[in-house]
Amino acid sequence: MSNQIKTVVLLTVLSVLFIYIGKALAGQQGMVIAFVFALIMNFVSYWFSSKIVLTLYRATPVPEDHEVYQLVREVATAARAPMPKVYRIPSMSPNAFATGRNPQNGVIAVSEGLLRILNAEELKGVLSHEMSHIVNRDTFISAIAATIASSIVMLANMAKWAAIFGGHRRDENGRGSGALELLAMAIVAPIAATLIQLAISRSREFQADQRGAGIARNPYGLISALQKISQASKEVPLEFATPATSHLFIVNPLGWGLLTKLFGTHPPLEERIQRLRNLRPHGSS
């Protein structure tokens, strides 16, 4: 199954889960109210997510005469994509992310630490990866998935309190949702939503690695960059990093414990590197 089809299926499952829990919690009226609330959240995410995340990480625009700006222009030309805005994060933790609702409004942000430890080939590999996210509209898809998943968690919390305080709802046909059903939903729904969101995020990372290597014309710069970023970011944590934004970065900025491996937004680094090593450089036979 292609990543595009897989993403559509997973987003559909998320949406169905959201509608189901809303209906079970408060019937048709509750479903409609929750759905409208989700639409509002999606609207805010679509139009303002870039500004929010750039403000959160205190990112500032990179001048056009800066070396990284010129390298982004080269990558955008190779990808046949519009030139994105380029921002710099004032942190010595090496990392980068892409955001923007579409390729015409794309943004690439790189940290001071990233610029310090990577050479030109490695930096080109990272920028090509981020450009791939913009071209593939991954930033928009991830924002929608995160919004729906957050809405499901919100509804699940409502179901939990309804179950605790003896919630029991009946619809117009006399069918009801008892406390046990609501409690089970409150436990299962957030886990299911999180796993689906992670599946979407991880599949897009693999695709961005592959396409980014194609834009850069070889996978070796990105391989070396991932190794350097992973090692250095363990020593220098990224300030202000949050679970809500961790999926944006090229390497998870929150740590590398067992829970991160199981429930992290990124695939295991070793698997990403192995897949990149299996790629042939552009133009090789």
Q: Which residues are catalytic?
A: 130
Cα 111-262-249 angle, rounded to 5 deg: 15
CA distance 47 to 56: 16
Per the DSSP assignment, residues forming a β-bridge with 108 are: 86, 98
Alpha-carbon separation of residue 92 from 25, 108, 113 (angstroms): 46, 17, 4
All residues at 6 or more sequence positions from 63 whose CB lies less than 8 Å from its CB, including other chains: 69
Instruction: Return all residues near 285 (Cβ < 8 A) that are at least 6 apart.
Output: none
Which contiguous run of DSSP H or E holds residue 85?
strand 85-89
In the block, residue with structure tokens 């809303």: 22
Name the one residue in this structure whose structure tokens are 């929608």. Answer: 144
